[in-house]
Structure 1
Amino acid sequence: MHEASEPDTGRLARRLTAHAVLAHHPAVPDIAADYWEMSRDHYRAVDGRLADAVAGSPDAGAAYRAVLADPDDAALHHLLAERLERLLAERPHDRERLAGAVAGADPHIWIDYHLGGGPGDAYGTGPVAPDGAAEGSGGDRQPGVRGLPEAHVVIPFRDREGGTRTRNLLACLRALADQSGGAAHRVTLVEADSEPRTRALVDGLVDDYVFAYKDGLFNKAWAVNVGAVAHAGAPALCVLDADILVDRSFVHRNVARLYDGGHAAHLPFTWSLSLDEESTLRAIGLRNGEGRAGVPTTCLRGLLLREPPGGCVWTRTETFHEIGGFDERYEGWGGEDDDMVARLSAAAPLIRYDDPLLHLNHTRPAMTRDGVPFNAHLEPMSWSAGMGYGDVAKFRDQKS
């Protein structure tokens, strides 16, 4: 998502700014602890060289220290990039040394930082549709084109506070209702909770609402399986998190890929852009409020996760059922997506595309219990269809 067309010095200045933010922003370790562990030494190596380079420059040094003091301020990020660009132009030796540090670090980082726009237009306008997203009329879902099978989109969900998760769900559903290209799709929402909280809110936005009783820890894996079993007739299946905002040609593009590409499953993204709150509101406003076909990443800001296993997975329905869906022993945060993608890959060809994946902001869930990942005790890839899956009544006997 970085602008390859920028002058080399300008692009390098932005990459150095990104590394400074990644090394010091407190949200970076929290977004994905394992990705942080793999990346932090690379951030710190670049940041250390950057600190040395700006030490002798009052302007660049002041901008660098300002970013460290307030790493969440986008205006300060733009100011640092501006001043670094001037500094690098004046100091070819430092430019060469820092370019080498960035080139050595970037292939090894798993969390990156995306800063949209420029200093005077931090969230400027640009082409509205992302790459591969066709412009077209919105509105109701369209009947399928002959030869292109129906898609079933399953969304697992829980929000006991009725907060940002519910806001994101409604944005996700409205974007799914605004699809073009002629690929028919059915949306099933599975609310796995102790009581149905969103039924009235989603009326008219989903084809199927399923309440699946489950108290205690959220079980995404089981909720997905319940939805997939509830409507197993569509040949194409999409497992979509409720916090993903899709463009207008999302369904048509991915169903066509699934049946033209000769593969059984795919993830339509390489990097997932986790938007900050300001960018989240902007993205929802453009996509749903203004009815845009898509949201340009040039107007957004957030952390990029490299090749995450979840968020949006497309698969042929028969392949999903052959492997028994998700492993329902996973509860709480973490591991179920990794396991599912690993088992899909073992069963049939799975590939990735490079669409933008916009992840709307929400409060982060607990990742561990007593310092230990929730599902550390489970053996990956040990689930099979013979173990039974998708029983909506599985946890009803837990009711008091």
Structure 2
Amino acid sequence: MLSIIVSWRDRVELGRALPGLVGAAEAVAGDVTVVSYGGDPELLAGQLGQGAERVRVVDTGARRYFHKARAQNLGAGHTAHPYLFFCDCDIVLEPSVVAGLVARLEREDGTFATLAGVRESETNARAAGHVTRFGYELRLRTADGRELHIVDHEEDADDGTRQAPGLLLVRRSDFLAVDGYNSRLHGWGWEDQDMIARLTLGAGLRRIEEGHALHLSHDDQARIGAYPPVQDRWESRDRMFRAALANYDRADFRGTYARDLEEEVGVLVREVAPA
């Protein structure tokens, strides 16, 4: 029923997250696919450990930079279940949370879902000083009357909580209707919100926010180090947002799924071992 897709490049948190990922998938007769976009094969093997036989691996081979949006599309293209859950490699899932979201989408047409939030494994992981919470609220309305409302914030230094726009559950048919993620956006900071925006403004779907997970805390180098160089994550997020907003103003809500799969025909796929 469900394909869980995890994009990865040399992140050591995957090993701790893997049991929850596999458990969440198997609870709803699903599977897990890890997309190694330019990652080290030996490091990945070590992270997967004994769980390797329960995970499909899509390996692009050597790449200069990580590209999350394209990796997400590749993962979707090498899976078959009718529901897709895109999850970061540093998220510890509770299987019941994912199963509950799948059940809601089955009951409620015209919807997609994200987790409502995550809690950091280390409180104040971003080393906040005087400002203990930073956030923003985005509202957009298009000429055809559709409206988007996104509330997002960085970690609350007092309790370690924050939003989770990248932990996204969507019907495959709706994912394909907007042509997947948009790999024209290359960098850290807006590809997840862009998918929410395009499913809402382009496909006319309603977002469900429900459930929580644990985020394995890490520094900004782990967050942005594999992307094209920027001064800091804010520069990357600002550039990505401006590009996405220009797309919406042109009523361009298409991703690049079909193009990405056509251009990435040479990836290696290791299937899950037979039970």
Change (3 A) 1:386 1:211: closer
Kindly tell me the number of residue pairs found equivalent between the two proteins.
217
- Residues in 2 aligned to 1:156 and 1:210: alpha-carbon distance in whole angstroms: 9
Aligned pair partner of 1:217 in 56, 61, 65: 65
State the one-letter code of the partner of 2:243: L
- Residues in 2 aligned to 1:228 and 1:267: alpha-carbon distance in whole angstroms: 17
1:171 maps to 2:16: yes
Cα offset, 1:315, TM superposition: 0.3
Within 5 Å, which residues of 2 pair with 1:1-80? none
1:303 maps to 2:160: yes
Q: Deviations over 1:236-287 (max 9, x none)?
A: 1100011111113233222111101223311131x332231799xxxxxxxx
Question: Are 2:83 and 2:170, in contact at CA under 8 Å, matched by a contact in 1?
Answer: yes
Give the TM-score normalised by structure 1.
0.48
Larger helix percent:
1
Give the equivalent residue in structure 2 for 1:353. Answer: 209
Give the equivalent residue in structure 1 for 2:130. Answer: none
Cα offset, 1:383, TM superposition: 5.1
Q: Kindly, what percent of the aligned residue pairs are identical?
A: 25
- Residues in 1 aligned to 2:113 and 2:24: alpha-carbon distance in whole angstroms: 20
- What is the DSSP-based 3-state SS (H/G/I as helix, E as strand, rest coil) of the residue aligned with 1:319? helix
Cα offset, 1:152, TM superposition: 0.5
State the one-letter code of the partner of 1:155: V
Give the equivalent residue in structure 1 for 2:95. Answer: 248
Q: Deviations over 1:60-106 (max 9, x none)?
A: xxxxxxxxxxxxxxxxxxxxxxxxxxxxxxxxxxxxxxxxxxxxxxx
Question: Are 1:154 and 1:224, in contact at CA under 8 Å, matched by a contact in 2?
Answer: yes
Question: Are 1:217 and 1:332, in contact at CA under 8 Å, matched by a contact in 2?
Answer: no
Give the equivalent residue in structure 2 for 1:327. Answer: 182
Q: Deviations over 1:144-174 (max 9, x none)?
A: xxxxxx1000000111xxxxx32x2122211
Change (3 A) 1:353 1:370: closer
Aligned pair partner of 2:86 in 239, 243, 255: 239
Question: Are 2:90 and 2:216, in contact at CA under 8 Å, matched by a contact in 1?
Answer: yes
Give the equivalent residue in structure 1 for 2:270. Answer: none
Change (3 A) 1:383 1:158: farther
Q: Which has the higher contact order (CA 8 A, sep 6+)?
A: 2
State the one-letter code of the partner of 1:196: P
Change (3 A) 1:217 1:277: farther
Change (3 A) 1:376 1:253: closer
**If you compute each CA radius of gyration, which structure gives the higher value, 1 or 2?**
1
Change (3 A) 1:194 1:169: closer
- Residues in 1 aligned to 2:115 and 2:33: alpha-carbon distance in whole angstroms: 20
Q: Which runs of 5+ in 2 are unaligned?
A: 126-157, 267-275
Larger strand percent:
2
Cα offset, 1:369, TM superposition: 1.7
RMSD of aligned residue pairs (Cα, Å) = 3.2
- What is the DSSP-based 3-state SS (H/G/I as helix, E as strand, rest coil) of the residue aligned with 1:200? helix
Q: Deviations over 1:32-87 (max 9, x none)?
A: xxxxxxxxxxxxxxxxxxxxxxxxxxxxxxxxxxxxxxxxxxxxxxxxxxxxxxxx
1:378 maps to 2:243: yes
Give the TM-score normalised by structure 2.
0.68
Change (3 A) 1:221 1:214: farther
Structure 1 runs of 4+ aligned residues shifted over 6 Å read none
1:276 maps to 2:137: no
- Residues in 2 aligned to 1:362 and 1:329: alpha-carbon distance in whole angstroms: 27
- Residues in 2 aligned to 1:321 and 1:356: alpha-carbon distance in whole angstroms: 26
Give the equivalent residue in structure 2 for 1:362. Answer: 218
Question: Are 1:212 and 1:392, in contact at CA under 8 Å, matched by a contact in 2?
Answer: no
- Residues in 2 aligned to 1:214 and 1:350: alpha-carbon distance in whole angstroms: 38
Question: Are 2:6 and 2:72, in contact at CA under 8 Å, matched by a contact in 1?
Answer: yes
Within 5 Å, which residues of 2 pair with 1:123-202? 150-159=1-10, 165-166=11-12, 168-179=13-24, 182-193=27-38, 195-201=40-46, 202=48
- What is the DSSP-based 3-state SS (H/G/I as helix, E as strand, rest coil) of the residue aligned with 1:388? helix
Question: Are 1:324 and 1:389, in contact at CA under 8 Å, matched by a contact in 2?
Answer: no
Change (3 A) 1:254 1:377: closer
Cα offset, 1:235, TM superposition: 0.7
Cα offset, 1:332, TM superposition: 2.5
